[in-house]
Structure 1
Amino acid sequence: MLCIGFEWRLNCSRTVLAAAGIVVPHSAIATHHLSKFSDSVGVPLRVEYADLSLIGDREENQDRVQVLEGERAVLLLAIDGMGGHSDGAKAAQLATESFREAFGRITQPVFDPIGFLHLAIGRAHLRLVTLGARLSLESRPRATCALCLVQDDAAYFAHVGDSRIYHLRNGAVRERTRDHSHVELLLQEGVITEEEIAAHPMRNFVECCLGGDTWLPGMTITRQKRLQPNDVLMVCTDGLWSGLGDDSIGRLAGDSEALSGGLRRLGEQSVRACGPYSDNTSAAALRYLGKDTAASAGSRTGKAADKPQRKVVAR
C-alpha cells in the first residue's frame, strides 16, 4: 500500500509481539465469542463476535485485529501497517497498544464517543510519528486503521486510510466507510465502478495514514448509528474486502451459522479470489443480539440476573 508515494504494510510479527508477551500465529483462525455488556442504565446487551487473520500469500502476517471488551462498551480494531517501511511491526504494535490503553482509561459508557475516537487516533498517530522521527520521510513507519465503538444500542465509526468498517443488515451491506484513497475518489466521481477498484493500478495508493508526517492525518468519524437485533458490524483490512463483493460480505449478516464460521468463509474466499498474490486478510465482526430483557427483569424483581458470560470456541 502506498501513502501518496510511500509503500506500507503493517508488520505484526511474532518476534515483536513475543517480546510483549503476546503470541500471534501467522494465520489466526476465527474464534467465536458470546458475551454481554451493560448499557448506560445497566441493562445487559447481548453480542456475538469473532476475529480472523490469514497470512494469504505473504511471507508473514502483518495485520492486527482485536476486539476490546469493556463493562459498558466494545471496541473493534483493524490495523494494517506498511511493510515497505522500516519498523512496520513495531508501528503496528504501538498503534494497537495505544488504542488498547485509550479504551482502558476511558469511563464507560463513553460520554463523547466522537471526541474519544478522535483523541485515540491522534495519540496513536503521535506514537508512530515519534517512532520514525529520526528516519527519512519515505522510511517512516505508517499504518491504516478502522475502529468501531459499540455502546448502548449504537455504533460509532472512525477510520484512516483504506481499512474499512461495514454495517450489515438483513443479509446486505447497509453502509460502509469510504476509503481515503485515489481509487475511492475515482469511484465517487463516476470514473470507475466498485468492481473495478480491485484491479485498478492505483488501488494501493492511500491519502491518509497514521505516522509519517507530523500533522494529524485526515480521518472520518461518523455520528451515531442505531443498531437493530442481528445487525453485524465488521472492521477489516483491505486484504479482505479487495477480494469480495458486497453481496458476499452482506451474507455475513444473513447466515444462521456462528459468526466465526461466516467470517472464516469470507476470509478464505477472499484469499482464493486474490491468489496467488493475496494479501494478509483480517477482520473482526460483531453481531448485536439486542437487550437481555429477562436478565434485566430478574434484577428489578430482586432475582439474581445472569452474570455476563463469555464462551470461546476455537475453530
Structure 2
Amino acid sequence: MQFSVYQESQIGGRKVNQDRMGYSFTRDALLLVLADGMGGHLRGEVAASIFMQTMSTLFQQNAQPYVKKPERFLEEAFMQAHEEIHRYRATNNLPDTPRTTAVACLIQHNIATWAHCGDSRLYWMRRGQILGRTRDHSHIEHLIDKGLADPSERATHPDRNKLYNCIGASSLPRVDVARPAGLQSGDILMLCSDGLWSMLSDEDLVHRLTTQTIVRAIPEMISTATAIAGEKGDNATALAIMWQGSPDVEAPSAEGVDMATVISTMMLPDNLVSTTITANTEPENPSEVDAFNDDEIEKAIAEIRGAIEKSSQIIK
C-alpha cells in the first residue's frame, strides 16, 4: 500500500476539543478512525477516546496483516466500543452514559469499506466528484427520506442537529456499513466531524480537495469553518488520505504532497502494526475543564484493553 495522509483539528469556540482522530496500518491494511464526542452529554470526550482505543486495539489483534472479514470487523468493533463505554459508566457510577458519533474506514487490497454512527462523515472523491458519502443519522435526513423536507434544507432546518443514532446511547447503535468500494490511484478519502462539514457545502469541500493537495486543503477548510462558526462554533476536525495504491506506483515528490506524511508499507513485516491512535487525554484548556481527570481516562483505557484481550468474541 501507498498513501499520503494529513490530519488536523481545531477547538473552535468550545472549551474542550471532544473530537478524536487517528489511523493504524499494517503491511496490507489501513484503518482510519474519527470520533466526535457529544457535548450535550456527560464526558463526550471520554466516549470518543474509548471508541478510538477500542477500534485500534481490535485492529491490532485482527490485521495479520489484513482483516479477513472487513464488514463484520467494523460492525463488531463499533458494538464493542459501545459496550466499553457502558462499562465505563457503570465502573464510574455515572448518572448518564458518555456518547459519541463515529466514522471508520478500513482499506486493504485497494478496497475501502466504511461504517458510521451519527453525523461524523466520510467523503470518497475522484477527479472532482463525490463517489460516496455517509448519510447522517439525523432528523433532517429522515425527513428528506420521507419526502417531508427538501435536500436544500440540510443546512438551515431547525432539526438539522438532532440525531437518532450514536455510540453509547441506552439503545444499541445502528451501524451503517457501506458496500466495498474499489479505489484508484489519486482517490481522496476524508473523515470529518460536523464542525467542518456543517459550515462548508459539499461542492466547496470537493473543490478545495481536488484543486489543492490535502495538506493545504484541510487546514484551510478547518480555518474557514471555524471562522464562519464564530465564537460559539464547534470543534472542527478532518483526517484525509490520497490513495496511491500498489507499492509499484511511484511516490509523489515532496513538492507534490507539501510535506504530508507519505507512507509505503511494502517493506513492513507482516506482524508489525503502526498507529497514531493514543489515549489523547489532554484537554485543550485544562483550566476550564472539570468533567474528568487524566487518571480516570487512563484507568478506563487499561480496562478496555484488558477486557478486549480476554474477550472470547475476537473477530476472525
TM-score interval w.r.t. the shorter chain? 0.7 to 0.9
CA separation of 1:306 and 1:98: change in aligned 2, threshold 3 A: closer
**Pairs within 5 Å for 1:70-219:** 70-106=26-62, 107-133=64-90, 134-136=93-95, 139-213=96-170, 215-219=171-175
Mapped partners of 2:99, 2:32: distance in 1:
20
Mapped partners of 2:14, 2:87: distance in 1:
28
Larger relative contact order (C-alpha < 8 A, sep ≥ 6)?
2
1:290 maps to a residue whose letter is G
Select 2:247's aligned residue among 292, 295, 303.
Answer: 292
Any unmatched runs of 5+ in structure 2?
Answer: 251-264, 269-273, 275-316
1:174 Cα deviation from its structure 2 partner? 1.8
1:59 Cα deviation from its structure 2 partner? 1.6
Contact 2:19–2:45 (Cα < 8 Å) also in 1: no
Mapped partners of 2:38, 2:216: distance in 1:
29
Partner of 2:219: 264
**RMSD over equivalenced CA pairs, Å:** 2.2
Mapped partners of 1:307, 1:208: distance in 2:
41
Deviations 1:165-212 (A, max 9, x none): 111111222221111110111222343344422322212211111113
SS at match of 1:75: strand
CA separation of 1:60 and 1:227: change in aligned 2, threshold 3 A: same
2:99 maps to a residue whose letter is R
Select 1:221's aligned residue among 153, 177, 185.
Answer: 177
Mapped partners of 1:262, 1:207: distance in 2:
31
Q: TM-score if structure 1 supplies the norm length?
A: 0.75
Aligned pairs, how many? 253
1:252 Cα deviation from its structure 2 partner? 4.3
CA separation of 1:49 and 1:189: change in aligned 2, threshold 3 A: same
> Percent identity over the alignment?
34
- Between stretches 50-59 and 193-202, larger displacement belongs to 193-202
Mapped partners of 1:267, 1:99: distance in 2:
25
Partner of 1:279: 234
More strand by share: 1
Q: TM-score if structure 2 supplies the norm length?
A: 0.75
**Is residue 244 from structure 1 mapped to residue 196 from structure 2 by the alignment?**
no
Mapped partners of 1:49, 1:194: distance in 2:
31
CA separation of 1:205 and 1:261: change in aligned 2, threshold 3 A: same
Mapped partners of 1:176, 1:53: distance in 2:
21
